[in-house]
Amino acid sequence: MRQFEIRWQPIGESIRVTLDEKHNSEIVEPLWAAMPYRTLQGHALVAGDCFYHVPPAHDLIHATPDHKVDRKIQPDGTVFCSAVQHLTVKYGELTEPMPTSPIGHVIPEDVAKLPRIGELIWEAVHGNGTPVIAAVSHAGEAEGHGVRRLEVTGAALRPLIERIAQETEKVLVAPTDELIDMHEGTFFSGAGTKNSVLTTLVAVNGETRPLGYVSYAGLVRAARLTETPLKSLVALARILLVKPSEFLGYCGMDTLWEFTKEVNAALDQIATREDFAALMAQMTTYVNALGAWNLQLFPWSLAERTWTYRPTVNGGAYV
């Protein structure tokens, strides 16, 4: 029986999870191999009472689950893992109907702690804005942190993969100066019509999440799970990756744009589908880590109570 622990030192809490050894081994094994790691802890903003983080487990992106469930009816403490690199813990009511892949369950003696942990994490994301970092490790083992460098046969790709991995290790646990400047409105490009920072941040969120979840991750899956020719994969990469990354660079995410230009140039040197998939996967993890910070740093407190909430008998929603 394998177990892992999640510790949140800023809120003084921890839980232990028992892995499901019967199902979804393609998901469980890369997650297990990625430990120990640290990563920003997030909370669902739409789906309901669950919290999640981005594990630096590249092979989750193309893993094929053999067991899916309706997440809404699973018991509290169920742990899910998805192809968008979310490790999610359910602690209350969920509204999102899409099926998901369970990989384990919080041990019974820790389930009662989950609502409090969930509320503290929600407050950290949507309230006081103080980041909470999750430390994930095999049960009983020391904490640590690292991002796997995916192997490639093309020697020219290795320095780029190394630099992407180094930057990802930083971004998983702390926002870059670029992200902070962007969310404080101190970037120098002039992005934001009539000096609006909020409109720029909405656009940045709208581009970053699909860039990682759909574009980069989709290219990994196409390379690993289909027979799409390498030439076609390269052409699709240029179509899908360059324009949104250029826009994000204009908005202040310069490092992402610089990496994208290097990736675009490196595509001409890639000789195998495996090398293509490795480079795309390394970038997927990096972009997904950036996306997590965009949600953490977003100024949810600006509108206070008026952000919310569904119409009631006493009034309509504020929009």
CATH assignment at residue 48:
2.40.100.20
State the Cα torsion 278-282-283-285 to the nearest 10°.
130
Distance (Å, whole) CA 181 – CA 205: 15
Strand 69-70 to strand 37-43: parallel, antiparallel, or no bridges (unpaired)? unpaired
> Is pTM beyond 0.85 here?
yes
Across the strands, what pairs with 43? 51
* Strand ranges inside the chain, DSSP E: 3-8, 13-19, 37-43, 48-53, 69-70, 78-81, 87-94, 99-106, 133-138
Q: Which domain holds residue 94?
A: 3-138
Residue 131 shares a structural domain with residue 196: no
Residue 31 shares a structural domain with residue 115: yes
Residue 115 shares a structural domain with residue 237: no
The answer to whether residue 319 sits within a structural domain is: no
Q: Domain count of the chain? A: 2
Q: Give the model confidence (pLDDT) of 172-220 as tens digits.
A: 999 999 999 998 888 778 888 888 888 899 999 999 999 999 999 999 9
Q: Is 234 exposed, middle or buried (0-12, 13-18, 19+ CB in 10 A)?
A: middle
Q: Give the model confidence (pLDDT) of 210-228 as tens digits.
A: 999 999 999 999 999 999 9
Identify the band that residue 305 occupies on the pLDDT scale cut at 50, 70 and 90: low
Residue 317 confidence (pLDDT): 44
Distance (Å, whole) CA 195 – CA 90: 40
Residue 273 shares a structural domain with residue 168: yes
Residue 308 confidence (pLDDT): 58
The answer to whether residue 308 sits within a structural domain is: no
Q: Give the model confidence (pLDDT) of 242-263 as tens digits.
A: 999 999 999 999 999 999 999 9
Which amino acid is residue 280, in one-letter code? M
Distance (Å, whole) CA 102 – CA 123: 26
Non-local (6+) Cβ contacts of 66 within 8 A are: 23, 24, 25, 26
The answer to whether residue 312 sits within a structural domain is: no
